[in-house]
Amino acid sequence: MAQIATIASLALAGASVYGQVQQQRQRKAEVRLQQEAAQQQQAAQQQVMATQTATQQRARQEVMARTIAATRARMAASGVSPDEGSAAALTAGMAADSVKDQAESSDLLRQRLAAGRPSLLSSNGDFQGFVRATQSFGAIARNLLD
């Protein structure tokens, strides 16, 4: 009778370990699906940010072109040559400011995209299932030896 109890406890231990392994596989699959969904969401957010930045850049360039054209027209209307002297310096300064603003905007976009990237140090899996299975198997083996 004692041998049947030992065999039954071994069978239960095997079933317990098998169940824990199956649960771990299921958890890993769920984690993988969650990571894939997060990556897809991140890619979509990055695409939205890039599109917004491109739209803002085009709008900024259009405003700058209109502003420079209006400034040149006012200078020409007042009798100052728009391509020389202070008028040229004024429009060159406006263009330089626009380039600086664009560079800052590009840096901001790069920072925003980098902030959305997951850390390279974050782990993709864990050993909790293995640790739990080892502990239960150890407890069962100890009970069998007693």
Residue-wise pLDDT for 40-73, tens only, equals 888 888 888 888 888 888 888 898 888 888 888 8
Nearest residue to 122 (alpha-carbon basis) of 43, 48, 31, 45: 31
Q: How many CB atoms lie within 10 A of CB 95?
A: 14
Q: Is the dihedral of CA 135, 141, 145, 146 positive or negative?
A: positive
pLDDT exceeds cutoff 50 at 97:
yes
Q: By residue range, what is the domain housing residue 78?
A: 2-118+126-145
More confident residue, 79 or 144: 79
Give CA–CA dist 118/108, Å, rounded.
18
pLDDT exceeds cutoff 80 at 92:
yes
- Which range is most confident: 55-59, 112-116, 120-124, 142-146? 55-59
Is the Cβ–Cβ distance between 119 and 77 less than 8 Å?
Answer: no
Average pLDDT of span 67-87: 85
Q: Which of 13-22, 55-64, 132-141 has the lowest mean pLDDT?
A: 132-141
More confident residue, 6 or 144: 6
- Count how many domains the chain has: 1
pLDDT exceeds cutoff 70 at 125:
no
pTM: 0.51
Is the Cβ–Cβ distance between 137 and 14 less than 8 Å?
Answer: no
Give CA–CA dist 125/32, Å, rounded.
9
Average pLDDT of span 92-119: 77
Average pLDDT of span 80-107: 84
More confident residue, 33 or 45: 33
- pLDDT-based confidence at residue 138 (cuts at 50, 70, 90): low
